[in-house]
Amino acid sequence: MHSFEIIYCALSEEISFAESQVNDLVKTRSYLVKSMHAKAPSGIKTTRYDLAGRKSEFVPYGLYRIANKLLEVDQALLYWHEYLDIKRGTRERLDTILQRTGGIEWKLTFMRDKLHLRLHEIADKLGYSYDHIKRLSARTQKPKTRRIV
């Protein structure tokens, strides 16, 4: 494996990890916002949260604590969005380098086998027709090994 392939694969994994972090934080934020709305008083009624007479020991977050958690999540989201912007920019620059270097067969096999892109995605990135990429892909397929029993 070329060092370029190693770098590109590692970068793609970092981006994937960061995207999962962002998705997790967005879900956490949504949960906190729902919790905040659930704590809001409705009409004149209020709810008492003293432990006497309760069946469980679950104590819900107070509004102040939810607001602080929400701020923490928002700061983490800002960090991960900036991180993703940087990494995606780096990947775009590597894509540009990839388009300028190597033959089309090398680019095709790298994108298909290492990056696991679909042929129509490869055709779009390289600027060729899908049919041409499909023909080249069939020509550059690794021979399937047979198991001898």
Q: Which of 24, 28, 49 is nearest to 39 (CA)?
A: 49
Average pLDDT over residues 102-121: 83
Does the structure show a pLDDT above 50 at 45?
A: no
Distances in Å between the alpha carbon of 17 and those of 11, 20, 22, 148? 10, 5, 9, 39
- Mean pLDDT of the residues in the chain: 80
Q: Where are the alpha helices (DSSP H) in the chain?
A: 3-39, 63-100, 104-109, 119-126, 130-139
Higher pLDDT, 88 or 2: 88
Label residue 74 by pLDDT band (50, 70, 90).
Answer: very high
Work out the average pLDDT over 122-137.
Answer: 90
Contact 8, 115 (CB under 8 A): yes
The answer, as to whether pTM is greater than 0.85, is no
What tokens were used for 123? 């055709």
Q: Cβ atoms within 10 A of the Cβ of 107, count? A: 19
Higher-confidence position of 137 and 22: 22
* Cβ atoms of 123 and 133 closer than 8 Å: yes
Regarding predicted confidence, which is higher, 29 or 55? 29
